[in-house]
Chain A
């Protein structure tokens, strides 16, 4: 058990180093510039809405940049190893496919965590430097963003285990976009009463509701997200991540690399 965990962690650490080497964290520089410029300009342009807009920009950038990293690095995690044929010597070592797959997931999850943490720190610092109170309530939106990103990585890895990196990226983006429209599916009964309720319910159940991870507007106004809501959101994300990672792992195990 200990050996299995240490092998998984070794893959995770390598994946983290690899993503950092791929200059993923360069987005932090862009983020810093964005916030600095916004902080300097918004006071003049926004009729005293600069604090709310700064928070909106910061949180939206965390969500957007995080999603881009999750999709484009996530789809390459497995497929690149296959294309470069670097997977074969790895699997010849005493390393199971499960350890490799979960290690890759954990490595990118850590990259995203570091990325989000640095961006949050940047946002709090910008608020402080522009004379605003660094609001800990922001964590109530950042944590769900991280959960959504982890689910996105799980989908990216599932699709990249089944198909090419490009198609996997397209499919992952589609799932994320459809997931953000999940409430439209739920409201389908109101706009199209003819659609059988069972079909609507089934459709709603199989689409991950990414809007569950969106508390950006709420915290931008300083409202705290209740702990119970965060707890249920975490459970929802965990359930989906386990299912999607499980499916991805099954597909990766079933794949013939000869």
Chain B
């Protein structure tokens, strides 16, 4: 009798993975695009979990990370529609969860396919964070950076960076950076310094990785400009654009690889002399 029962249990248990595989065949193994947020308001969630708001915030935070990672990896034509509501619910439940503001702001602001390409929403998330954590100079610093990097508004950025510098414990270089941003209008050198600061302030993980990619993009842009200058010098010497980029090495005008920071060869149009980062490269960003 016992062995019959054991056999039955084994047979039933073996049906579980088999039926799951069949379901996955029909619906796809990852169904993030079908996800629905049943509760759109953090206040509603808060009222449902009295005394356990912090734990609920953690659950929503994990869900945010899973959602974003899942969309990035598995979904084509990603729009990250749930990213903002998930971040809002998380930060309503736990307004002190600083990482959620920073993470949400970065990936709402970054252009597709890396992020949602909605920088105003990213800035709104940071403004909310600054209101909730007025003593956090890092959040205010990020808000200033985002006004330069994504909204191209150096005036507002400079004002916010000065405010950040006045918070006790703030980094000493914020005031200098505020002046630089105002004077140079957020040029590439300022942008590099900002991403460098974000890279240094982040622990190992996706935010740090994003800052690293941004720094590599700036390196690629610098290399592209230097290469364009070499092309111009060759044209000045010979009176026409070089036919191919590798001619520059033979002329002694270029000694570095003819590729961007990701190893993708630079694009080149011999009819106009234009050097560019190809859109296949992860270093490519829309102008």
Instruction: Give chain A's interface residues, CB within 8 Å of chain B.
Output: 45-49, 52-53, 56-57, 60, 63-64, 177, 180-181, 184, 210-211, 214, 216-217, 220-221
B65: chain A residues within 8 A (beta carbon) = 45-47
11 more A-B residue pairs beyond the given contacts A45-B62, A56-B55, A214-B51, with a C-beta to C-beta distance below 8 A: A45-B66, A46-B65, A56-B57, A57-B58, A63-B51, A211-B51, A216-B51, A216-B54, A217-B54, A217-B94, A217-B96
Known A45-B65, A47-B99, A49-B61; judge A220-B205 contact (CB<8 A): no
A47 touches B103 (CB 8 A): yes
B-chain residues with CB within 8 Å of residue A221 when the two chains form the complex: 96
- Which B residues lie within 8 Å of A56 (CB)? 54-55, 57-58
A-B contact pairs, 7 of them (CB 8 A): A46-B58, A46-B61, A47-B206, A48-B204, A217-B53, A217-B96, A220-B54
Give complex CA distance A217, B52 in Å. Answer: 9
Q: Closest chain A residue to B65 by CB distance?
A: A47
Pairwise interchain contact A52-B58, C-beta atoms closer than 8 A: yes
List chain B positions with a Cβ less than 8 A from chain A: 47, 50-55, 57-58, 61-62, 65-66, 94, 96-97, 99, 103, 203-207
- Distance in angstroms between the alpha carbons of A60 and B206 in the assembled complex: 28
In chain B, what residue has the closest Cβ to A54? B58
Residue pairs across A and B with CB atoms within 8 Å: the count is 57
In the complex, the chain A residue whose C-beta lies closest to that of B102 is A47
- The answer for the CA separation of A151 and B56 in the assembled complex, in Å, is 25
Q: Are A180 and B58 in contact (CB under 8 A)?
A: no
Q: How far is the CA of A221 from the CA of B58 in the complex (A)?
A: 13
Report how far A56 CA is from B61 CA in the complex, Å: 13
Kindly identify which residue among A49, A211, A216 contacts B99, using a CB–CB cutoff of 8 Å: A49
Q: What's the Cα separation between A63 and B53 when bound, in Å?
A: 13
Question: Closest CB-CB distance, A175 to chain B, in whole Å?
Answer: 13
Chain A residues near B54 (CB, 8 Å)? 56, 60, 216-217, 220
Q: Which of B58, B103, B206 has the most CB of A within 10 A?
A: B58
Q: Are A211 and B50 in contact (CB under 8 A)?
A: yes
Q: Which residues of B contact A46 (CB under 8 A)?
A: 58, 61-62, 65
Q: Determine the residue in chain A with the shortest Cβ distance to B53.
A: A217
Report B169 CB to chain A, min CB distance, Å.
16
Give the docked Cα–Cα distance between A221 and B207 (Å).
21
Instruction: Name the CB-closest residue of B to A63.
Output: B51
Within 8 Å by CB of A60, from B52, B66, B203, lies B52
Shortest CB distance A172–B (Å): 15
> For the complex, what is the distance from the CA of A125 to the CA of B97, rounded to whole Å?
24
Question: Smallest CB–CB gap between B148 and chain A, Å?
Answer: 25
Instruction: Tell whether, in the assembled complex, residue A63 and residue B203 are in contact, meaning their CB atoms are under 8 Å apart.
Output: no
Nearest residue (CB) in B for A61 is B55
Report chain A residues within 8 Å CB of B96.
Answer: 217, 221
Q: Which residue of A lies closest to B207 (CB)?
A: A47
Distance between B191 CB and nearest chain A CB, rounded to angstroms: 24
Interface centre among B51, B52, B66 (most CB of A within 10 A): B51
Q: Which residues does chain B contribute within 8 Å of A184, judged by CB atoms?
A: 47
Q: Which residues of B contact A63 (CB under 8 A)?
A: 51-52
